[in-house]
Amino acid sequence: MAAVLPNASDENSKICCSTHSDEECTFVCGDCTTLICDDCVDTEDHEGHDIKSIKKFIKEADLDDLKESCEKFDCFKIKAKILDETERRFQKAIDGIHSQASKMISEINKIKERKIRECEEKKGKNAITVNEVLAVVDPSEIVDKIDNLPKKGGRTQYAEVAQALLKYQKTMESEEIEAKCDASVYVPTFTHGKIQKSRLEKQFGELDFEEEDVDNLFDTEEETTESESSDDENADNQYNEKGNKEDGEGGSDFLYYQ
What secondary structure, in 3-state letters, does 94-132 show?
HHHHHHHHHHHHHHHHHHHHHHHHHHHHHHHHHHHHHHH
Lowest pLDDT segment from 28-37, 180-189, 203-212: 180-189
162-171 pLDDT, tens digit per residue, is 988 888 777 7
**pLDDT at 20 > cutoff 50:** yes
CATH code of 1-61, in short, is 3.30.160.60
CB 15 within 8 A of CB 35: yes
Query: Using an 8 Å Cβ cutoff, are 144 and 164 in contact?
Result: no
Q: Where are the domains of the chain?
A: 1-61, 70-256
pTM: 0.48
For residue 253, name the pLDDT band (cuts at 50, 70, 90): very low
- 9-13, 17-21, 38-42, 80-84: least confidently modelled range: 9-13
With beta carbons less than 8 A apart as the criterion, state whether 38 and 24 touch: no
Q: For residue 181, what pLDDT is reported?
A: 65
| Burial class of residue 173 (count of CB atoms within 10 Å of its CB; 0-12, 13-18, 19+) | exposed
